[in-house]
Amino acid sequence: MIGRLPLDEQLAALRSVLSRNEVLVEVLNRTARMALPGWYLTAGCLFQTVWNVVTDRHPTSGIKDYDVFYFDDHDLSWEAEDAVIKAADDAFAGLPAEVEVRNEARVHLWYEQKFGVACAPYASTEAAIDSFAATTCCLGVRLERDGQWRVYAPHGLADVFNLVVRPNPVLAPREVYETKTARWRQQWPELTVLDWPSEPTTLTPASTS
pLDDT digits (tens, 9 = 90+) for 97-112: 999 999 999 999 999 9
Q: What is the pLDDT of residue 199?
A: 67
Domain ranges of the chain: 2-192
Q: What is the pLDDT of residue 3?
A: 60
| CB distance 185 to 158 below 8 Å | no
pLDDT band of 121, cuts 50, 70, 90 = very high
pLDDT band of 174, cuts 50, 70, 90 = very high
Residue 90 has pLDDT above 70, yes or no: yes
Distances (CA, A) of 62 to 11, 38, 180: 23, 27, 13
pLDDT band of 65, cuts 50, 70, 90 = very high
